[in-house]
Structure 1
Amino acid sequence: MPRSTARSWSTARTLSDLGNLTAQWLEGDLATLAGGAYRGGPDEETGPLVPVLAALNRAGHVTFQSQPGSDGPAFDGRRWTQRAAVMCLTDTAGLQLLTRTARAHGLLLAVHRTVRRGPVRDILATTWDGEAITSFGGKIPKSYIRLTYRGCHREAVRAAVDAHQVTLVDQVWGRDTVLWPALTEALTLTR
């Protein structure tokens, strides 16, 4: 990891700081995520989502995982389907906002804390030729959060460990026109 990027991550003290740095990485202004992960920016499929993901991060919801909705051929010609999904670390106010957004737009919702698993375990989000490939919404253990944010100040790591883990997933496979506008609307209403 470049020294200037490592220095930026080491200055983070809060969840909001982690969100601002994640937004900078999404927009290409930081070389890597915390701990040196994802050198070179987000995956190509994430490109169209960068504005809403950066806004989520700047609003204090640290995005941990996301994908667009899609339905089409994979590299081998078999059918690849995804549900639009995002997983965030957030505070109590963020939990309330994201829960209201999920309910208002008919989105699937999973909520956990590192100390307590919520009622929803995993939400299938990607299939390849009909076989389950990726799930969102599982509880992230403390050890994984600590590993993800290694190099950050211990206060920032503690904030990430203590955060609510909130996942929103579109119910409709391949659709990419509900989750992202719903999040944009929610963020606009809270300004």
Structure 2
Amino acid sequence: MPRSAARAWSSARTLTDLGELTAQWLEGSLAALPGGVYRGGPDEETGPLVPVLAALNRAGCVTTQSQPGLDGPAFDGRRWRQRAAVMCLTDTEGLQRLTRTAREAGLLLAVHRTFSRGPARDILATTWGGEEHTWFGGRVPRSYVRLEYRGCHREAVRAAVDAHQVTLVDPVWGRDTVLWPALAKVLALTP
């Protein structure tokens, strides 16, 4: 990882700091995510989502996974279907905003904490050739969150471990016109 990126991540102390750095990575001004992973920016399919994702990160919700809604042929010709989805780490205020957004827009919602007990809600988000391929919303264990944020200051790692894990998924396959506008709307209202 370039030293400038490593220094930036090691200086983060809060979820707000992690969100700002994630936004910078999405926009191309930071070379890598923590630990040197995902160099060179997000996947091509994420390009149109960058403005909303960057704003979401700057509003206190650190995005960890996202995808647009898609429905069409995959590289091998089989049908590839995705539900628009985003997974993020946030504080209690962010949880309340995202829960309200999900309810008002008719989105699927999963909420966890690293230390929660009980069933974890996994939401099928991608099928490939009619077979289940990717899920969003499962509880991310404490050990994995620590691994994801290796190289960050321990205060930032603790904030990520203690955060609410919130996932919003559009229930309609291939639709990309509900989740992102709903997030943009709530972000426009956020100071």
TM > 0.5 fold call: yes
**Aligned-pair CA distance for 1:180:** 0.2
Q: Which runs of 4+ in 1 moved over 6 A?
A: none
How far apart are residue 189 of structure 1 and its match?
1.3
Counterpart of 1:127 in 2: which secondary structure?
strand
Instruction: Report deviation, 1:121.
Output: 1.6
Deviations 1:88-137 (A, max 9, x none): 00000000000000000000000000010565520000001110000000
CA contact (8 A) 2:66 2:85 kept: yes
TM score, norm. by length of structure 1: 0.98
* Corresponding position of 1:64: 64
Distance 1:177 1:6, change over 3 A: same
CA distance in 1 between counterparts of 2:176 and 2:74 reads: 17
Partners of 1:94 and 1:118 in 2: CA distance? 23
Q: How many residues align?
A: 191
For the residue of structure 1 that corresponds to 2:18, the secondary structure is helix
Residue of structure 2 equivalent to 1:129: 129
Unaligned residue ranges in structure 2 (runs of 5+)? none
Letter paired with 2:31: A
1:113 maps to what in 2?
113
State the shift of 1:43 in Å. 0.3
Q: In the alignment, is residue 37 of structure 1 matched against residue 37 of structure 2?
A: yes
User: Percent of pairs identical after alignment?
Assistant: 82
Name the CA distance, whole Å, in 2 between partners of 1:8 and 1:117.
Answer: 34
Paired amino acid for 2:171? Q
Q: What secondary structure sits across from 2:87 in the alignment? A: strand
Residues in 2 aligned to 1:134 and 1:3: alpha-carbon distance in whole angstroms: 33
**TM-score, length of structure 2 as denominator length:** 0.98
2:86 counterpart SS class = strand
**1:118–1:99 distance in 2 versus 1, CA, 3 Å:** farther
Deviation of residue 11 (structure 1)?
0.4
Q: Which residue of 2 aligns with 1:26?
A: 26
**Counterpart Cα distance in 2 of 1:37 and 1:181:** 29
* C-alpha separation in 2, matches of 1:89 and 1:96: 13
Partner in structure 2 of residue 172 of structure 1: 172
Within a 5 Å distance, the mapping from 1:75-86 to structure 2 comes to 75-86=75-86
**Distance (whole Å) between structure 1 residues aligned to residue 120 and residue 68 of structure 2:** 21
